[in-house]
Every structure is written in C-alpha cells, then in structure tokens.
C-alpha cells in the first residue's frame, strides 16, 4: 500500500488531519515518496539560495510537471482514438452513399420471352445513363409476332428516391424533340388480376402528324404502386439512402409503342414479371427466392456502375 495512512513515518499529530480531510490530494503522493513523509511540525523548511520556494516545494514541482505531461498524453490518445473511430464510421457511410445499391437479382435478368413477346436489349448512351442516375435498369424492345406489334419496356430502379424526381415522360420526351399531346389516368388489370394505377401519355413529332408514340408509366415505391410522383417528392425522401437498403427505393416502369392497344396488351403481361424483381412492401424479392430456370447471376449490361 502506498496510502498515507500506512506510512509509519507520519507524525501522530498529522493523522487526525488526514482523517478529517479524506487523505492527501493525489498530486501530493509523489512528493511524499520523494521527501520521505510529511514535514515535521514546528520546523520551517529551508529556502532556496535564491530566496524562492522552500526546497520541499521545489522538489515537488518536477513531479507535478510529469503528472501534467502524462495527462496531456492520455487526452491526446483519447482524441486520436475517438477521431479514428469517427473517421471509419463516416468513411463507411460515405462509401455507401456514393456506391450503387444493388438488387438481389439484376433487372437484366427479366426474361427475354414473356408470353407471346420476344425481346432484345436496347443500349442507352452513357450520357443518358449519367443523367438518369439509376442504380439498375433494363431497356428492351419486345415483339409479338402473332399480333404484329411491338412494345418497348424500360424499367429504372433507384435506391435513392430523390434521384427519380423530374425523370418522367412529360419532361424527358419533350427534351428529346417530342410534343406533348395529352396525359390521362388509367388502370391496367394484370394477367394475375392486380389493378395498377398508370398514366397514359401521347406525344408526336412536330411536322409529322402521322408519327406519334403512346407511353404508359407508373412507379413502385417501396413495393407500393402509384402513378403520382408527388408521393416521393417530400423532404423525407430527399435523405440519402446511406444504409444502402434495397427495400427503400423507387422504380419507374415505362411501356411505349405507336399503338395504345399494344401498350395495354404488353402492360397486362409485363407488369407482374417486372414486380418479381423488385422488393415488395415487406422487402422480399420474388425472383431471389425462386429464380426461374436459366437466370444468370448478373449481366453487367443492365447494371449501372
């Protein structure tokens, strides 16, 4: 033990004082070790030749200095360790923030053949992909040889809903030189009986009255179907998806053709297939639980880096 109460060298007169005060301050312990105990009562300490502090106080000063140095080192270590932990946490979050949120099964695995439709991938320019800012997409042209019609399927998934704002047919088609004719709300009943709210748009080229296009679109927001972009335009949806949660997302589905009937027919068969690749309201992805035969793990042509 190094406490003052066990030091046989302490004068008896000093013991009651220590008991009343709770013992010596911590800073005094090293001084006691250097001086061999408390100063004797009734005797004055010799002063330094220069007339400064008593010799006992002068000898105690180096010990106090050492204690201060150790305290500074301890505080510095605590700050460094805390900074390191904070940096690792922040770096991890920033990496997820700047990275791609990947679906369990990439959209490129949507079947090439759906019902009587056979498809082929249609490449998109790097400039368009950069502007869109999606985490995954598929852009495919399907033909129905029996009906003699075609329909284009475009599905864009984003783990950060705020990036989808403004990317809708009423904006993108006019930016590509098309004139907007009209938009109306419709409902599509899929081949499994699901009723889907959609928007149906008509566009045409100026000076080409016979050339037009019909575009159907809707959104899937965390598994819920909607035709209203306003459902994910609030402040809460502008917060970055730092956690990289695939079930916190918005997906836009567009089906287009020159004929409204072709668009409706394709939508009835395509929608349920597409939804199998997106998390439902409980976060489950049907295609990941029971992938159809021949599905590949990843086709890079459909994943945006």
**Least confidently predicted of 41-55, 167-181, 228-242:** 41-55
DSSP-based helix, strand, coil % in the chain, nearest 5:
40, 25, 35
pLDDT band at 19 (very low <50, low <70, confident <90, very high): very low
Q: Of the spans 34-48, 162-176, 284-298, which averages the highest pLDDT?
A: 162-176
pLDDT score recorded for residue 207: 76
d(CA 222, CA 248): 5
107-289 topology per CATH: Protein Transport Mog1p; Chain A (3.40.1000)
pLDDT score recorded for residue 28: 41
Mean pLDDT of 194-219: 91
Mean pLDDT of 30-38: 42
C-beta of residue 56 within 8 angstroms of C-beta of residue 45: yes
Could you state, in order of their start, the residue ranges of all structural domains in the chain?
4-96, 107-289
pLDDT band at 183 (very low <50, low <70, confident <90, very high): very high
pLDDT score recorded for residue 18: 34
d(CA 140, CA 118): 10
pLDDT score recorded for residue 178: 93
> Is the model's pTM score more than 0.85?
no
d(CA 218, CA 190): 14
What is the tens place of the pLDDT at every residue in 227-277?
998 887 655 555 554 455 666 789 999 999 999 999 999 999 999 999 999
């Amino acid at each position: 033990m190094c406490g003052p109460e066990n030091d046989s060298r302490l004068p008896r007169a000093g013991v009651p004082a220590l008991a009343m005060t709770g013992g010596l301050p911590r800073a005094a312990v090293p001084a006691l070790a250097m001086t061999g105990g408390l100063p004797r009562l009734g005797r004055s300490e010799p002063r330094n030749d220069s007339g400064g502090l008593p010799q006992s106080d002068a000898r105690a000063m180096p010990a106090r200095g050492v204690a201060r140095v150790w305290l500074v080192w301890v505080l510095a270590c605590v700050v460094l360790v805390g900074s390191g932990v904070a940096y690792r946490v922040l770096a991890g979050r920033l990496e997820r923030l700047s990275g791609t949120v990947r679906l369990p099964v990439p959209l490129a695995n949507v079947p090439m053949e759906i019902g009587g439709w056979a498809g082929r991938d249609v490449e998109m320019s790097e400039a368009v992909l950069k502007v869109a800012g999606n985490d995954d997409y598929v852009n495919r042209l399907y033909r129905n040889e029996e009906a003699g019609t075609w329909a284009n399927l475009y599905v864009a998934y984003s783990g950060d809903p705020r990036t989808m704002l403004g990317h809708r047919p009423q904006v993108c088609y006019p930016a590509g030189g098309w004139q907007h004719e009209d938009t109306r709300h419709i409902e599509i009943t899929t081949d499994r009986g699901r009723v889907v709210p959609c928007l149906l748009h008509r566009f045409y080229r100026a000076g080409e009255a016979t050339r037009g296009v019909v575009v159907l679109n809707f959104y899937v927001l965390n598994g819920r179907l909607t035709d209203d972009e306003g459902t994910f335009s609030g402040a809460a949806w502008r917060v970055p998806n730092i956690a990289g949660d695939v079930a916190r997302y918005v997906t836009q589905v567009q089906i287009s053709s020159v004929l409204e009937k072709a668009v409706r027919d394709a939508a009835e068969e395509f929608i349920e297939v597409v939804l199998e690749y997106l998390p439902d309201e409980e976060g489950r992805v049907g295609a990941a639980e029971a992938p159809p035969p021949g599905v590949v793990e990843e086709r890079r042509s459909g994943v945006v880096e």
